[in-house]
Amino acid sequence: MAIQENFKVQGMHCASCAVIVEKTLKKLPDVDSVDVNYATETAKIQFRKGNADLS
């Protein structure tokens, strides 16, 4: 079962920071998709329930 969560991401200084955060999150097990937005300082993460630790 896929779950989607939205997170506030603070401390990004440019669009390249958002790309780095997105690439890093995509490497986590059970993460299906990630969309990090620099302008809104948010990350939308879709993952499979059970194993993904997003803390």
Tell me the three-class secondary structure of the chain, residue by residue. Answer: CEEEEEEECCCCCCHHHHHHHHHHHHCCCCEEEEEEECCCCEEEEEEECCCCCCC
Q: Is the pTM of this model over 0.85?
A: no
Q: Is residue 17 part of a domain?
A: yes
Walk along the chain (55 residues) and give the pLDDT tens digit of each residue.
789 999 999 999 999 999 999 999 999 988 999 999 999 999 999 998 765 565 6
Domain hosting 14: range is 2-48
Measured distance CA(20)–CA(14) in Å, rounded: 10
State the CATH number of the domain containing residue 8: 3.30.70.100
Q: How many domains does the chain have?
A: 1
Name, in order, each residue with C-beta under 8 angstroms of 29's C-beta and a sequence gap of 6 or more: 51, 52
Q: Is residue 41 part of a domain?
A: yes
